[in-house]
Structure 1
Amino acid sequence: MEPKWVTWAKEIQSLSQAGLAYSKDQFDIERFERLRELSQEIMAQYTEVPMEKLPELFANETGYQTPKVDVRAVVFRDNKILLVREMMDGRWSLPGGWADIGVSPSENAAKEAFEESGLEVKPVRLIAVMDKKCHPHPPGAYHIYKLFFLCEEIGGKLTTGFETLDAGFFGLDELPELSVGRITESQIRILFEYGWDAEKQVYFD
């Protein structure tokens, strides 16, 4: 679903990063450096990110490039889903974020749920693995895999965290304005379908 220019820019960036990591020939290194610059120029041309910011956001890694991992906690209560209001844009998403080094994916889901909503949860089942490019998110610089863990409440109380303004449970017919860079309505509908039916296998793209 993502625009082709995003796909091309990310692939050029990935190839250039691998080339810079493994090439020994100085002429090849110069070519890969130019390819990396071109990928940043493409992103700058079609997004609102200033060119000077792109090296740290889009081309800030070394070695073989792999997708980033975004982990989300899916918590239901009375047929409603837990959402948190993001401080960054004032819109709503599932609690979660980038996977942390040294923490398993399920541990990450529980940690993010507590930090962003105040609820203590126990991950019980992986219900979805989504590739961000396959869903109607706005164009982004990273290739992202999104892991969704069904979690059950075991304690705590709804509150806010350092990165959230509010937290609450919402039904499908009363969803607030979503932070669509993080979650979309169509994805939430998939989570309702797969989260409530234990007989379903894991959803994946």
Structure 2
Amino acid sequence: MKHKWLEWAQKIQSISQSGLAFSKDVYDIERYEELRDLSAEIMAEYTDVEKETVKGLFALEKGYQTPKADVRGVVFEDNKILLVKEKNNNKWSLPGGFCDVGLSPAENVIKEIKEESGYEVKYKKLLALLDYYKHPHPPQPFHYYKIFIQCELIGGNPEAGLETSEIGFFDENQLPELSVDRNTESQIRLLFEFLRNPEKETLCD
């Protein structure tokens, strides 16, 4: 769940970014840059990330700040769920990632599943649109929406990608160690509810 310090830092960052995007006055720009510096200092104080690293991330953001969209593919086979092992931490997640500009959410998830698992799928149903900070994820500098899309397996073979090392289908009660910044155990169990009840309504935080 969201930490209060993180909420403050993100709000300060959002205000500073909007101000830098629309302000013309040199003194206002200076004040908004100070706010951005303050938000980076707060982040660095409560995390293991250096202040200059955080400032660099924030400096890359332009225009009015909005939540980032992270899409995750949900593929069931023989009552098991498809997961991929991430190379960067050797933990498991639903295939997916940030949505690319120019692609729809469904197109993004189909692409991500192919790249990370080798499987070919087609869109089936939007299962859930969740707010990152309403679930037990670790703190992150930015605000994310998590989009969980169920897809149907239509072809391909298991094949690791640039960011993944293993592919597997897992029973609900035999889940591997999860990459909790990408998906939590409670979210995976929530997705199995859709397998048991295909008529379950799409969830939205």
Query: What's the TM-score once normalised by structure 2's chain length?
Result: 0.97
Q: What corresponds to 1:107 in structure 2?
A: 107
Asked if the contact 2:99/2:108 (under 8 Å) is kept, the reply is: yes
Q: Which moved more, 1:136-145 or 1:46-55?
A: 46-55
Asked if the contact 1:96/1:112 (under 8 Å) is kept, the reply is: yes
Question: Partners in 2 of 1:32 and 1:195 — Cα distance?
Answer: 48
Q: Deviations over 1:103-140 (max 9, x none)?
A: 11101101100110010011111000011000000000
1:195 CA displacement: 4.2
Asked if the contact 1:13/1:59 (under 8 Å) is kept, the reply is: no
1:24 CA displacement: 2.0
Q: What corresponds to 2:98 in structure 1?
A: 98
Q: What corresponds to 1:167 in structure 2?
A: 167
Asked if the contact 1:79/1:171 (under 8 Å) is kept, the reply is: yes
Q: What corresponds to 1:138 in structure 2?
A: 138
Q: What corresponds to 2:14 in structure 1?
A: 14
Q: What corresponds to 2:36 in structure 1?
A: 36
Asked if the contact 1:88/1:163 (under 8 Å) is kept, the reply is: yes
Question: Partners in 2 of 1:179 and 1:74 — Cα distance?
Answer: 15
Q: Map 1:112-123; keep pairs closer than 5 Å.
A: 112-123=112-123
Identity of aligned residues (%): 59
Asked if the contact 1:194/1:202 (under 8 Å) is kept, the reply is: no
RMSD over aligned CA atoms reads 1.0
Q: Which moved more, 1:25-34 or 1:73-82?
A: 25-34
1:56 CA displacement: 2.8
Q: What corresponds to 2:148 in structure 1?
A: 148
Q: Deviations over 1:157-199 (max 9, x none)?
A: 1121110010100011100000011110001111111344222
Question: Partners in 2 of 1:17 and 1:58 — Cα distance?
Answer: 8
Question: Partners in 1 of 2:169 and 2:50 — Cα distance?
Answer: 37
Q: Deviations over 1:63-112 (max 9, x none)?
A: 10011000110000111100000011110000000000111110110110
The amino acid that maps onto 2:94 is L
Q: Map 1:51-62; keep pairs closer than 5 Å.
A: 51-62=51-62
Q: What corresponds to 2:65 in structure 1?
A: 65
The amino acid that maps onto 1:97 is G
Q: Deviations over 1:25-74 (max 9, x none)?
A: 22211111100000000011111111221123234211100110001100
The amino acid that maps onto 1:7 is E
Question: Partners in 2 of 1:59 and 1:132 — Cα distance?
Answer: 22
What secondary structure sits across from 1:38 in the alignment?
helix
The yes-or-no answer on 1:75 pairing with 2:75 is yes
Q: Which moved more, 1:152-161 or 1:193-202?
A: 193-202
Q: 4+ runs of 1 displaced by more than 6 Å? A: none
Q: What corresponds to 1:27 in structure 2?
A: 27
